[in-house]
Structure 1
Amino acid sequence: MTHKDGDWQGTQRRPDVPVPIWIKLAYVLPPSPRLRGLDGVPLRVRAAGIDIAKTVPGVLLAWHQTITGDWWALATFELTNRSRKPSLVVTQLVPAMSIRPRDT
């Protein structure tokens, strides 16, 4: 990992190459606490809404440390609905507990 991070003063780490990872979406995009299960959710939403219950492949681009000392991963990954289309590719910070290494 490179450690030259300019004004980040050691709170940013970038791997030399992007690292393949798995991302557990339930930790990244948690469901609303007011909803329990799918009761009352229209079928069209269940079919076409973003599927946040799965683990998806992604790429780790960097680590960023918060003011509380936690590390968050900057990752790129794809969001899909249950039919796997359409898709939305996002790059965002995700909590460290939501990722694990992926064999390539």
Structure 2
Amino acid sequence: MVNSKYKIGVVDKKGKYFFLFQGFRKNKFAVSGLETVVSMTSELITQYNLFFVVVYEYKDVFELLQLKDCGIPIIVASENFKIIKKLQIIDFHHCIGLSEKINILTSLHDCIDGILKK
């Protein structure tokens, strides 16, 4: 990494889950809230090291298509269990179910830890 901070883009059109990243060390992580990545250029996308994308409904999957081929790790989260199951079938390895309120932070930290160790 050229930059000392690990840049995380949180794509959440409703802004409900940005709180998951509160408490991350500010000298190690730079977290940015984004409503969408559809209009972003590939140059802007490559400035991030990781994307956390919240999928509320099936049409939000277009956000993932924009990011799928960029080579940047993506953590996909959804309140809808059916969407999570289908994304796991499509080979999205890092999926988090947001309907289980107890395990969200643990799942997020495990995903990020697994990505950082690669």
TM-score range, shorter chain: under 0.3
- Larger of the two Rg values belongs to structure: 1
Higher relative contact order (CA 8 A, sep 6+): 1
- Please give the TM-score of this superposition, normalised by the length of structure 2: 0.20
- Please give the TM-score of this superposition, normalised by the length of structure 1: 0.22
Higher helix share: 2
